[in-house]
Structure 1
Amino acid sequence: MARLPQIMRRPQQILEAPSPAATAGGGGTVSLSGAGATFPAPLYQRWFSEFNKLNPNIQISYQSVGSGAGVKQFLAKTVDFGATDAPLNDKERASYPKDMGEPLQIPMTGGAVVYAFNLDGVDNLKLSRDAYCGITDGTIKTWNDPKIVKDNPDAKLPSSPITFIHRSDGSGTTFLFTSHIKAACPNWKAGASKSVEWPAGVGAKGNEGVTAQIQQTKGTIGYTEYSYAKENSLKMAAIQNKSGAFIDPSPEAAAKALEGAEVPADFALKVPDPAGKEAYPIVGLTWLLLHGKYSDQAKADALKNFIKWAFQDGSSFAKELGYLPLPNEVTNKAIAALDNVKVAAK
Structure 2
Amino acid sequence: MIGRKGKVLTAIVTGILAVSITGCGTTAANSAQAPGQKAGSGPVSLTEAGSTFVQPLLTKQVAKYQEENPNVKISVQGGGSGFGIAQLQKQLLDFGASDAFMSDADLAKAQGGKILELPIALGSVTISYNVPGLPQHIKISPDTLANIYLGKIANWDDPQIAKDNPGVKFPNLAIVPVHRAEGSGTTSIFTHYLASVSPEWASKVGKGISVNWPNPTGKVIGEKGNPGVAGAVKNTTGAIGYIELAYALENNIPYAYMHNKAGKWVLPSLEGAAADAAAFKIPEDMRVNIVNAPGDAAYPISGFSWALVYQKQTDKAKGEALVNFLKWDFTKGQAIAPSLQYVPLPDNLTQREIEMLKTITYNGQPLLK
TM-score, with length taken from structure 1:
0.90
Are 2:88 and 1:63 equivalent residues in the alignment?
no
Are 2:41 and 1:27 equivalent residues in the alignment?
yes
Give the whole-Å Cα distance in 2 for the aligned partners of 1:280 and 1:344.
44
Q: Deviation of residue 29 (structure 1)?
A: 0.4
1:14 alignment partner in structure 2: none
User: Tell me, which stretches of 5 or more residues in structure 2 are unaligned?
Assistant: 1-38
Match of 2:212 among 197, 200, 203: 197
The answer (yes or no) to whether the contact 1:119–1:220 under 8 Å persists in 2 is yes
Are 2:193 and 1:174 equivalent residues in the alignment?
no
1:140 alignment partner in structure 2: 153
Relative to structure 1, the CA distance from residue 345 to residue 339 in structure 2 (aligned partners, 3 Å threshold; closer, same or farther) is closer
Q: What is the DSSP-based 3-state SS (H/G/I as helix, E as strand, rest coil) of the residue aligned with 1:197? A: coil
Q: What is the DSSP-based 3-state SS (H/G/I as helix, E as strand, rest coil) of the residue aligned with 1:69? A: helix
Q: Deviation of residue 127 (structure 1)?
A: 0.8
The answer (yes or no) to whether the contact 1:294–1:343 under 8 Å persists in 2 is yes
Relative to structure 1, the CA distance from residue 132 to residue 326 in structure 2 (aligned partners, 3 Å threshold; closer, same or farther) is same
The answer (yes or no) to whether the contact 1:110–1:323 under 8 Å persists in 2 is yes
Instruction: Kindly report which structure 2 residues correspond to 1:234-273, keeping only aligned pairs within 5 A, or say none.
Output: 234-273=253-292
Give the whole-Å Cα distance in 2 for the aligned partners of 1:316 and 1:330.
15
Q: 1:91-137 CA distances to partner (integer Å, 9 max, x unpaired)?
A: 1111112xx34211111111111101111111231011221111121
Give the whole-Å Cα distance in 2 for the aligned partners of 1:345 and 1:275.
43
2:198 alignment partner in structure 1: 185
Are 2:343 and 1:324 equivalent residues in the alignment?
yes
Match of 1:156 among 163, 169, 177: 169
Match of 1:106 among 111, 118, 124: 118
Q: Deviation of residue 272 (structure 1)?
A: 2.7
The answer (yes or no) to whether the contact 2:276–2:291 under 8 Å persists in 1 is no
Q: Deviation of residue 275 (structure 1)?
A: 1.3
Match of 1:127 among 130, 134, 140: 140
Give the whole-Å Cα distance in 2 for the aligned partners of 1:48 and 1:299.
15
Q: Which moved more, 1:249-258 or 1:189-198?
A: 249-258
Give, as a single letter, the amino acid of the residue that structure 2 aligns with 1:144: D
Give the whole-Å Cα distance in 1 for the aligned partners of 2:214 and 2:123.
26
Match of 2:56 among 42, 57, 68: 42
Q: Deviation of residue 278 (structure 1)?
A: 1.8
Give the whole-Å Cα distance in 2 for the aligned partners of 1:192 and 1:130.
16
Q: Deviation of residue 298 (structure 1)?
A: 1.6
Q: Deviation of residue 345 (structure 1)?
A: 6.8
Are 2:233 and 1:214 equivalent residues in the alignment?
yes
Q: What is the DSSP-based 3-state SS (H/G/I as helix, E as strand, rest coil) of the residue aligned with 1:60? A: strand
Q: 1:158-194 CA distances to partner (integer Å, 9 max, x unpaired)?
A: 0110001101110000001000100111221110010
The answer (yes or no) to whether the contact 1:43–1:321 under 8 Å persists in 2 is yes
Count of residues paired in the alignment = 320
Counting aligned pairs with the same residue, the percent is: 40
Q: 1:258-287 CA distances to partner (integer Å, 9 max, x unpaired)?
A: 124100000012123211122100111010
Instruction: Kindly report which structure 2 residues correspond to 1:264-303, keeping only aligned pairs within 5 A, or say none.
Output: 264-303=283-322
Give, as a single letter, the amino acid of the residue that structure 2 aligns with 1:77: Q
The answer (yes or no) to whether the contact 1:295–1:345 under 8 Å persists in 2 is no
Give, as a single letter, the amino acid of the residue that structure 1 aligns with 2:162: V
1:78 alignment partner in structure 2: 92
The answer (yes or no) to whether the contact 1:118–1:235 under 8 Å persists in 2 is yes
Q: 1:35-85 CA distances to partner (integer Å, 9 max, x unpaired)?
A: 111100001110111100001100000211000011000000011111111
TM-score, with length taken from structure 2:
0.84
Q: What is the DSSP-based 3-state SS (H/G/I as helix, E as strand, rest coil) of the residue aligned with 2:328? A: helix
Q: What is the DSSP-based 3-state SS (H/G/I as helix, E as strand, rest coil) of the residue aligned with 1:151? A: coil
User: Tell me, which stretches of 5 or more residues in structure 1 are unaligned?
Assistant: 1-24
